[in-house]
Chains A and B, each alone.
Chain A
Amino acid sequence: MNGAGAPLSERKGMAHVSGTVQEAPEVVGGPPEQPSRGAMRALRDVGALLIRQREATVFVVDVLLIIYFGFISSVGRHAFFTHTNQITVTQLAAPIIIIALGEVMLLICGEIDLSVGFTYQLAPFIMFFLINDYHFPGLLAILIALLCGPVIGWFNGFLTVTMGLPSFIATLGTAFVINGIVLTTSHAQQESIPPQVHGIAHWIGQYAWAEITWAVILTAIFHVLLIRTRWGLHTVATGGNLLGAREAGVSVARIKYGNFMLTGFLGAFVGLQIAFQISIIDPTSGGFTPMFYAVAAAVIGGTAMLGGSGTIIGAFLGGILLAILTNGFSVIGISANPLPIIFGGAILLAMIANVQLTRLRERGRA
């Protein structure tokens, strides 16, 4: 059982990536419940899987929510699976997921980035200024706008790793500074998307399915990065045992700098996506909210805040969960006001599960 544990989880994880999003309706029939002689054993295996694999738990919750909003609720039955609503859900989920990918890597190596939502705010303005004021070609402007993410990430790494500030404080500082830069340079005015980038804008965020497609692709890439590469292994080692990793010769500074830069890149990317999606460059978009949603998705998905553990697939499913909840409530016409209570509850439950299941697991395996 133990011997097969790791590869199983990997295969399972990859199945989730391709399985959950576009094909959500089919997935509903997934869990095998038919009564047969193997039923008891199957049930027990499912139970064991739920305890061992955090992603499986979140996956089941996602499916249950889809069943509820899509089939059980009398209002939702007619509205939830409409084409428009499917796109709405994915457009809610995608930015949360993409930012969460970076936050998971950071949380695993023992850091957090509170500023990523402001990199999101800044990136489309950089693109706009380069095209409008400096007459850069569109593609180059987009590339530079994307690069501003890693640059901010590098600065966060500098403050955290080299200057020794706690990342919570360091990135809080950069968050406000970037916000100020955006408001000052834009005079707090919205801008429209320059015509030079209209073509590529479709591929980045304007096509209905563009965002979620990017989210799935990036999730797959980050999952492989975390599970299958030295970078991922060293990220876990850095967060799990900083001294030990350093002793073994792992360059923990490089790992932290790198993950801040990755997160910054993802923030800039999401910023461009949203700007293209809504066809407006808005100085009030982004901010702390998407970052907190992303951290919530990561935590719900099973990433511990203590470093050393976390899953990309979990964050993906956590992002889906938050999106379905947000959308489902509005679809079935319940006021969105109590929604934060449910979010808060979900985060707390997830965190309790994180802590308690980890204990259980460690005791069980000893």
Chain B
Amino acid sequence: MTDQQHQDPPAPSADGDVLRVEHISKKYGAVTALVDVNMHLERGEVLALVGDNGAGKSTLLKIICGFQPPTSGRILLDGQEVTFTSVRHARSLGIDIVYQDLALVNQLTVYENMFLNREPVRWPLLRKKQMRKEAQEHLDSMGIKTLKSVDLKVASLSGGQRQAIAVARSVFSEAKIMLLDEPLAAMGVKEGALILDLVRDLKEQGMSIIIIAHNYGQVFPVVDRVNLLQGGKITFDKYSRDTSVEELTEIVVAEYRKALEERHRAAS
């Protein structure tokens, strides 16, 4: 909380922000991962968070999803300051993070995964019929039709299907803000298209989404705004209609050149 009166207030926006991150810094011992980051997410918006490895993307993500607290700064949810005590706590407030591989249990069926830790019970037994039916209805309502049955074990699904299930589960848990961490990682074009369609649908239904992506070119078509993280700072914040994949590439390439030069200088 020391460097609170530092710099100007976060980027232009009004009460429409569903999430605001103000003056967030994160230090791991001597290493500073984030420096006074200001970020906001508008209601019903898809925000892409891009940047190189080590730029602080995952640190920022971990702070927003409640996995770890920031060293300083605050988080506002619907204008209310919140302090997340755990991922579970953040989730209960409507912020849900979706990992492709971490989220699902291979040995369980699709419907069991969708209900994991929220299973309906008629003590002491699970209401399996209800689980199956609701899971199927939910997938249908989201337009996820690539599954033969909700009785399939997740192990037998493709990467795209898994991601779709993980997203569906998140929606199912009544998330308001969804954090997608590399949703297209290791996915073919067709599968990727499935997920992008899903993101579009969710946005139409009013979900606010942050996508962490390495390959911003792939997600660019569904994104409303782009934030670029460089060296623990957000250095770029533009609506996607005001920018282009080319402009982003230029910035990234410039950064790459600078890094190369620095290395040369250090070597000589």
Contacts and interface: CB of A to CB of B under 8 A. Distances in A.
A229 B105 contact: no
A241 B162 CA distance: 14
Interface residues of B, number: 31
B102 A229 contact: no
B61 to A, nearest CB: 13
B39 to A, nearest CB: 23
Given A2-B152, A6-B151, A244 B117 contact: no
Interface stretch (B17-25, B108-116, B230-238, B243-251): B108-116
Contacts of B99: 244, 247
Q: Is the interface of A mostly helix, strand, loop or mixed?
A: helix
A233 B102 contact: no
A233 B108 CA distance: 8
Nearest to A224: B125
B146 to A, nearest CB: 12
A362 B105 contact: no
Nearest to A4: B151
B153 interface: yes
A38 interface: no
A249 B117 contact: yes
A241 B102 contact: yes
B186 to A, nearest CB: 16
B119 A240 contact: no
A250 B108 CA distance: 14
B214 interface: no
B116 A250 contact: yes
B160 to A, nearest CB: 12
A229 B125 contact: yes
Interface in B104-141: 104-109, 112, 116-117, 119, 121, 124-126, 128
A179 B215 CA distance: 59
Interface residues of A, number: 29
Contacts of B109: 6
Nearest to A304: B107
Contacts of B145: none
A150 B157 CA distance: 39
B156 A365 contact: yes
B248 to A, nearest CB: 31
B91 interface: yes
Contacts of B264: none
A309 interface: yes
B117 A234 contact: yes
Given A236-B108, A241-B105, A248 B125 contact: no
A78 interface: no
A79 interface: no
Contacts of A233: 108, 112, 116, 119, 126
A88 to B, nearest CB: 36
Interface of B: 87-88, 91, 97, 99, 102-109, 112, 116-117, 119, 121, 124-126, 128, 148-149, 151-153, 155-158
Closest 4 CB pairs of A and B: A365-B156, A308-B107, A240-B107, A240-B105
22 contacts: A2-B149, A3-B151, A5-B151, A6-B109, A224-B125, A228-B126, A228-B128, A230-B126, A237-B116, A240-B106, A240-B107, A241-B102, A241-B104, A243-B102, A244-B99, A248-B103, A248-B117, A250-B117, A308-B106, A361-B156, A362-B153, A365-B153
